[in-house]
């Protein structure tokens, strides 16, 4: 369908298909007789044997190879002993079949094996007890001719190896990586379209590609089975390594390959870049004292910056060694002296540019000012003259502000120490990035501390890389440029939960009016100043509150705020024995909308969907964005039946709405609070119901 719907043409590609004729597909591609091919896990074996194939994407997450029994006495795998198995030799001699027998402790020598293709007449005449088949293809005939069977799908018995894999040659990969990426992109669109328009796709096959003379019924059955096996078109690196290890052991192969050679990445453009990744273990240096960007949990490093680096690492197949250092100063020292290659978060400053280079920013934040609550508002840096300002040593804010005249900068180990000093009145002000200050104020329960203003500076959060690794920086930039906005937003929402307090106190205003009330002219001047400042405060306060509590795209509660509200309602519901229901909503095939129409159109769909859904809700209902295209709706004083009615109204309203020419549907899971529920169990039950709704075909409501 990628060709039929013009997806290849849109990418500037003229694609012709060659039907399989029994030739070796791998050799056809390596010899240049075809640019791309579809094989299976055999590609791993081929690469181990020195054939320079490059896997582009998995099509089937699992191989559909299965063994089916027509002998009613075979109830389980244990009953295979001494039975007759009809299976083609090329199926039998694969790592997949061998693993199936090993995993399930079957001695192949105790089976009567016949090298035989699947044949309908053989099944009808019951020539064998067991048959090796492709579940997506040949199981259809057992159903059609009402032949009783028992299926042993290999994926269900511990053997989860990729099925069909799109691949190319190493030569094309490096000579024209843009071509490979375009072909991959259009092929994914074609698969997604075919799976979402099965009837249309079947008609195209029957009209133009049906050399095997299949019926509509047969193709429909195959399409529905294929949907169960289709992958997300991304390789799992651990899975590939497992297949490689088992293939080497099974076939006693001495060859090996690096994942960077075997799996296509659009972010690795040249052989030189691939060789750099193969020959360099990347030493990372970080401190755990900069939450929510970097922190320690259960002995492991986590945080916003770590999550962004994990995306980079996965896409570039980086081999890393992680060093956790006690302070950010140590981190900077490691990069400067090339004892480490990269740190996960920094911003460009003239000083650091003497020894480091910087990736493009993965996010940007305002550098803000925290004070005690008795200071109502900090309008600018001049207000801070002669005040003690605590900033982490070697932090970017420290470098930016240390040369400002009459600013008394106190260098501290980290922001946590700075805020504790502020709490004890050892300093007057703390300056850092907004999420860091907000995180510590919340975690340390500093009720007497608040964010009181902003500096003119912004912090561009980037990776800082040793200055002789420009080749690594270039690859990292390509990955960061390609991270969708919605994915960045989800990473941030997992960590940031900000509470702000802003504004003049009543006492402050009264004192101000009293002292300046004597002189009318001065009073009028001060009133004008105050009005101006109040408008500034109100505007800033609103901005900070919006950042803290609301999703900036849809303008409904974000995940952190919704969780807080959810906790309060659960406690209230349990205390007063009132019903409380939850709806988990997910936009169907949202990735397809982004891929086909662009992320701007995807954002429009998200905003419009929220507006439509709100029309079915009461003022007392709580609507929040859980992440990406997932939303939660809390219905106070509503039992499960009432919640289902609301969910159906929302579903119907969205299905009927015109999203600027795009058809949009949603799946919804509904559940009611139980006495022993926690936030996690309550949300999880709604999530399970949502999963069931999607499994049953989407665009429906399921009640748990």
- pLDDT mean over 43-62: 95
Q: Span 524-541, mean pLDDT?
A: 61
Indicate if the pLDDT at residue 399 is higher than 70.
yes
| pLDDT at 438 > cutoff 90 | no
112-115/84-87 β-pairing? parallel
Per-residue confidence (pLDDT) for residue 392, from 0 to 100: 87
Q: What is the pLDDT of residue 338?
A: 96
Separation of alpha carbons 645 and 702, rounded Å: 11
Taking alpha carbons only, the member of 319, 309, 192 closest to residue 259 is: 319
Residue 79 has, within 13 A of its CA and on its CB side, a CA count of: 14
Check 11, 135, 170, 629 and give the catalytic one.
629
The answer to whether 111 touches 81, Cβ cutoff 8 Å, is yes
Question: For 349-385, how does the pLDDT look when each residue is reduced to its tens digit (9 = 90+)?
Answer: 888 999 999 999 998 888 999 999 888 788 888 888 8
CA atoms within 13 A on the CB side of 138: 18
**Which residues fall within 8 angstroms of residue 672, CB to CB, at 6 or more apart?**
579, 580, 581, 582, 639, 640, 643
User: Worst-scoring range by mean pLDDT, 533-537, 635-639, 647-651?
Assistant: 533-537
First to last CA, the chain: 37
Is domain 271-358 annotated with CATH 3.40.190.10?
yes
Residue 181 known to be catalytic: no
What separation in angstroms does the CA of 212 have from each of 17, 208, 218?
Answer: 16, 11, 11
Q: How many CB atoms lie within 10 A of CB 487?
A: 15
Mean pLDDT of all residues belonging to the chain:
88
Sign of CA dihedral 39, 41, 42, 45: positive
The SS3 call for residue 454 is strand
- Same fold for the pair 7-61+166-251 and 65-157: yes
Rounded CA separation 164/299 (Å): 39
Position 519 scores a pLDDT of: 55
Phi, psi (5° rounding) for residue 386? 70, 10
Kindly provide the residue ranges of all beta strands, DSSP E only, lying in 75-234, ordered along the sequence.
84-87, 112-115, 130-134, 150-153, 165-169
pTM of the complete model: 0.65
Beta bridge partners of 582: 634, 671
Q: Which residues pair with 36 in a beta bridge?
A: 168
Superfamily of domain 559-703: Reverse transcriptase/Diguanylate cyclase domain (3.30.70.270)
Average pLDDT over residues 388-397: 86
| Band (165; pLDDT cuts 50, 70, 90) | very high
Residues 6 or more apart in contact with residue 236 via CB below 8 angstroms: none
Q: Percent of the chain scored above 90 by pLDDT?
A: 57
- Highest mean pLDDT range out of 83-97, 249-263, 547-561, 644-658? 644-658
Task: Let me know: does 121 contact 145? Beta carbons within 8 Å.
Answer: no
Cβ(55)–Cβ(235) below 8 Å: yes
pLDDT tens digits, residue range 562-612? 999 999 999 989 988 999 999 999 999 998 998 888 888 999 999 999 999
Q: Which pLDDT score is estimated for 499?
A: 38
The per-residue pLDDT for 661 is: 87
Q: What is the pLDDT of residues 314-353, one digit of tens each?
A: 999 999 999 999 988 999 999 999 999 999 999 888 889 9
Assigned token pair, 132:
């090796």
**Structural domain boundaries in the chain:** 7-61+166-251, 65-157, 271-358, 506-549, 559-703
Mean pLDDT, range 17-44, rounded to an integer: 91
| Residues 80/74, Cβ–Cβ less than 8 Å | yes
Q: What are the distances in angstroms from CA 202 to CA 1, 59, 60, 75, 314? A: 10, 18, 19, 36, 36
DSSP letter at 396 equals: H
Most confident of 153-162, 360-369, 437-446: 360-369
Domain 7-61+166-251 bears CATH identifier 3.10.580.20: no
Query: SS3 for 597?
Result: helix
**294-324: pLDDT as tens digits:** 998 888 899 999 999 999 999 999 999 999 9
pLDDT tens, residue by residue, 16-25: 998 887 788 9
Residue linked to tokens 């000093």: 421
* pLDDT at residue 498 is higher than 50: no
Check residue 520 and give its pLDDT.
61
pLDDT of 291 above 90: no
Tokens coding 617: 């809700």
- Pick among 3.40.190.10, 3.40.980.10, 3.40.50.720, 3.40.50.10540: CATH of 65-157: 3.40.190.10
């Amino acid at each position: 369908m990628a060709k039929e719907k013009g997806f290849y043409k849109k990418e500037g590609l003229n694609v012709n298909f060659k039907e399989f004729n029994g030739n070796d597909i791998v050799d056809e591609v390596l010899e240049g007789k075809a640019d791309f091919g579809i094989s299976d896990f055999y590609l791993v074996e081929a690469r181990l044997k020195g054939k320079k194939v490059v896997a582009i994407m998995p099509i089937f997450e699992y191989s559909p190879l299965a063994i089916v029994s027509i002998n009613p006495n075979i109830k389980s795998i244990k009953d295979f002993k001494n039975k007759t198995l009809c299976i083609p030799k090329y199926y039998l001699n694969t790592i997949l079949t061998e693993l199936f027998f090993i995993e399930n402790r079957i001695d192949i020598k105790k089976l009567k094996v016949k090298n035989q293709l699947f044949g309908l007449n053989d099944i009808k005449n019951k020539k064998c007890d067991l048959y090796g088949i492709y579940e997506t293809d040949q199981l259809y005939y057992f159903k059609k001719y009402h032949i009783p069977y028992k299926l042993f799908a290999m994926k269900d018995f511990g053997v989860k190896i990729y099925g069909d894999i799109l691949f190319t040659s190493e030569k094309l990969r490096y000579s024209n990586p843009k071509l490979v990426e375009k072909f991959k992109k259009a092929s994914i669109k074609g698969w997604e379209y075919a799976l979402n328009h099965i009837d249309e796709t079947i008609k195209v096959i029957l009209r133009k590609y049906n050399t095997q003379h299949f019926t509509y019924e047969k193709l429909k059955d195959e399409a529905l089975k294929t949907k169960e096996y289709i992958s997300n078109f991304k390789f799992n690196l651990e899975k590939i390594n497992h297949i490689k290890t088992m293939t080497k052991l099974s076939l006693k192969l001495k060859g090996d390959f690096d994942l960077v050679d075997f799996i296509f990445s659009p972010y690795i453009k040249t052989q030189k870049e691939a060789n750099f990744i193969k020959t360099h273990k990347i030493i990372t240096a970080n401190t755990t004292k900069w939450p929510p960007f970097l922190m320690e949990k259960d002995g492991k490093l986590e945080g916003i910056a770590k999550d962004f680096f994990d995306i980079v690492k996965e896409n570039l197949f980086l081999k890393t060694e992680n060093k956790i250092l006690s302070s950010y100063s140590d981190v900077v020292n490691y990069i400067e002296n090339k004892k480490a290659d990269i740190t996960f978060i920094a911003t460009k400053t003239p000083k650091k540019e003497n020894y480091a280079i910087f990736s493009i920013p993965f996010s940007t934040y305002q550098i803000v000012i925290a004070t005690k609550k008795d200071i109502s508002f900090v309008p600018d840096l001049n207000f801070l003259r002669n005040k003690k300002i605590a900033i982490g040593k070697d932090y970017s804010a420290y470098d930016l502000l240390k040369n400002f005249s009459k600013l008394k900068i106190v260098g501290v180990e980290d922001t946590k120490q700075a805020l504790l000093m502020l709490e004890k009145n050892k300093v007057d002000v703390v300056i850092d990035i907004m999420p860091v200050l907000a995180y510590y104020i919340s975690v340390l329960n500093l009720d007497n501390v608040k964010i009181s203003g902003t500096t003119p500076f912004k912090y561009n959060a980037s990776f800082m890389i040793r200055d002789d690794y420009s080749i690594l920086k270039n690859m990292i930039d390509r990955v960061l440029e390609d991270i969708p906005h919605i994915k960045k937003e989800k990473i941030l929402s997992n960590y940031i939960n900000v509470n702000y307090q802003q504004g003049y106190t009543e006492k402050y205003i009264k004192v101000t009016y009293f002292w300046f009330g004597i002189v009318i002219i001065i009073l009028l001047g001060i009133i004008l100043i105050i009005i101006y400042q109040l408008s500034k405060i109100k505007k800033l306060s609103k901005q900070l509150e919006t950042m803290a509590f609301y999703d900036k795209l849809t303008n409904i509660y974000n995940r952190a705020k919704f969780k807080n509200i959810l906790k309060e309602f659960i406690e209230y519901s349990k205390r007063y024995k009132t019903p409380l229901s939850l709806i988990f909503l997910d936009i169907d095939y949202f990735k397809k909308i982004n891929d086909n129409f662009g992320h701007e159109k995807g954002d429009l769909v998200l905003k419009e969907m929220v507006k439509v859904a709100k029309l079915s809700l009461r003022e007392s209902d709580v609507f929040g964005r859980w992440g990406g295209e997932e939303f939660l709706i809390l219905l106070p004083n509503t039992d499960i039946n009432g919640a289902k009615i609301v969910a159906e109204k929302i579903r119907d309203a969205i299905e009927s709405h015109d999203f600027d020419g795009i058809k949009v549907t949603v799946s919804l899971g509904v559940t009611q609070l139980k006495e022993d529920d926690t936030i996690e169990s309550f949300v999880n039950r709604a999530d399970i119901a949502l999963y069931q709704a999607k499994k049953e075909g989407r665009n429906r409501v399921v009640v748990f």
